Amino acid sequence: MKLENILVIGGTGKTGRKIVHLLKESGHNVRVGSRSAQPSFDWHQPGNWSKALSGMDKVYITYQPDLAVPGALEAIEELVNQARKSSVKKLVLLSGKGEREAELCEQVVIHSGIDYTIVRASWFNQNFNENFLLDPVLDGVVALPQAEVKIPFVDTDDIAEVAVKAILDDKHNGQIYQLTGPELLTFKQAIATIANASNRAITFVPISIQEYSQGMRDANVPEDFIWLIEYLFTEVLGNPKNSEITNDIEQVLKRKPISFTEYAEKVAATGVWNSLKETV
């Protein structure tokens, strides 16, 4: 097996850190792309990107906070330009399933002249234990809009494994993979699964997007994050195509994707959903 030099942008994030681990296990030379790494990678400091790209054969790209936000397209364009100058041979882009703005960024990668794979992912299971839904779960009351929408939640372990296959194997060049879990769940069903796995009483409350946004503003959440959440709940969850289950994970990994129940039981065993929130 040829060992590769691979830059993992977002290498400390939900998918990136797992990709770094898998690649290092296989003996590859991995450079973590993060603000704290040396050389550092910061999406707001394009003047430093060439140092992170130098000597790299392949690059995994995850844009924070999301490819849909203003400025993402320009950033991806500049990254692709610098990747070409650095003679990068392969780009693997993490994208969002059903995000029109993200698809514009995909096109930049697709038409870059560099080998590529696009990995479009549905909503992460890990939003419930590593992201903005953890605090409501710990509070025991989860209030969310789009209560009736059925979502094929996908696990970041599966995303990471698919991404590593795409990075290392040329047979995935030119492919667009759409990654989903094996079942459709509403938020209420997902919360019920978490409650059962963690042996806790957790209430789900359906609310409007307006109520949800106002709640975030009352909690002094930054406006750019509120915009992103509104976009994800309306444009993404409101897109019927995002309720489709695909078999791309099974096609690439030759196994079934991780179910939400499997995810919930694994996370519950860590105790994270049973920890007490600190109170002031």
Return the residue matching tokens 């290498």.
11
Domain 5-122+154-180+243-258: CATH superfamily is NAD(P)-binding Rossmann-like Domain (3.40.50.720)
Distance, CA of 131 to CA of 15 (rounded, Å): 13
CB 8 within 8 A of CB 30: yes
Please count the other Cβ atoms lying within 10 Å of the Cβ belonging to residue 235.
16
Burial 17-40 (b: 16+ CB within 10 A, else e): bbbbebbeeeebebbbbbeebeee
pTM reported for the whole predicted model: 0.95
Residue 146: which residues within 8 A CB-CB, separation 6 or more?
A: 187, 209, 233, 237, 238
The pLDDT profile of the chain, 280 residues, written as one tens digit per residue, is: 688 999 999 999 999 999 999 999 999 999 999 999 999 999 999 999 999 999 999 999 999 999 999 999 999 999 999 999 999 999 999 999 888 889 999 999 999 999 999 999 999 999 999 988 999 999 999 999 999 999 999 999 999 999 999 999 999 999 999 999 999 999 999 999 999 999 999 999 999 999 999 999 999 999 999 999 999 999 888 888 889 999 999 999 999 999 999 999 999 999 999 976 544 3
CB 116 within 8 A of CB 90: yes
